[in-house]
C-alpha cells in the first residue's frame, strides 16, 4: 500500500513539474515524461525509505 500511495503522489507531483517546465519552455505537455519521472521518483523513494535511511542515520 505504501508503494501504491508513493506512486500516486509521484504521478501528481511529476505531472505538475512537467506541466510547469513545458509551459516555461513553450512546448506541449508530455504525459510520458511525467510517468517516467514518477517511476524514477518512486524507485528512489522506495530505496531511500526501506534501505538507506534508518533511525540511526537521521
Dihedral of the alpha carbons of 51, 48, 32, 9, in degrees to the nearest 10: 110
Give me the pLDDT at residue 7, please.
93
What mean pLDDT is predicted for residues 10-38? Answer: 96
- Report residue 58's pLDDT band, with 50, 70 and 90 as the boundaries: low
Phi (first) and psi of residue 41, to 5 degrees: -60, -40
pTM greater than 0.85 (yes/no): no
Residue 33 has pLDDT above 80, yes or no: yes
Burial of 45 from C-beta contacts in 10 A (0-12 / 13-18 / 19+): middle
Sketch the domain layout of the chain as residue ranges.
Answer: 2-52
CA angle 46, 52, 53 (to 5 degrees): 90
- Report residue 1's pLDDT band, with 50, 70 and 90 as the boundaries: confident
Higher pLDDT, 58 or 17: 17
Amino acid at each position: 500500500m505504501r508503494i501504491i500511495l508513493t506512486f500516486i503522489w509521484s504521478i501528481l507531483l511529476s505531472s505538475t513539474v512537467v506541466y510547469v517546465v513545458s509551459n516555461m519552455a513553450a512546448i506541449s505537455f508530455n504525459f510520458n515524461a511525467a510517468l517516467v519521472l514518477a517511476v524514477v521518483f518512486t524507485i528512489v523513494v522506495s530505496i531511500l525509505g526501506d534501505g538507506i535511511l534508518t533511525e540511526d542515520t537521521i
